[in-house]
Amino acid sequence: MNDCGKYVKDMRKHHGLTQEILAAKAGVGLRFLRELEAGKETLRMDKVNCVLAMFGSELGVVKQKKEAEE
């Protein structure tokens, strides 16, 4: 599971929401939410942001460390 999917799943459970309820509130399909939580790598960013917005978050750019910096 990727970090984004884990975050969504953890937040959903923290707020006592089922996948069905979160999907309906965020305006996305249940299948999409399940794929997001499972860590699918190819998802529409606009829909991911709809889900993240439910928890006051959004996607952003994160600079990766170069191998030499590690």
pLDDT tens digits along 6-52: 999 999 999 999 999 999 999 999 999 999 999 999 999 999 999 99
**Structure confidence at residue 62 as a pLDDT band (50, 70, 90):** confident
Is the separation of the CB atoms in 47 and 62 below 8 Å? Answer: no
Of 3.40.50.2000, 1.10.10.60, 1.10.260.40, 1.10.620.20, which CATH number belongs to 3-57?
A: 1.10.260.40
Mean pLDDT of 2-8: 92
Residues contacting residue 18 through CB under 8 Å, at least 6 positions apart: 12
Q: Is the pLDDT of residue 1 over 60?
A: no
Q: Is the pLDDT of residue 69 over 60?
A: no
Q: Is the pLDDT of residue 68 over 80?
A: no
Residues contacting residue 15 through CB under 8 Å, at least 6 positions apart: 55
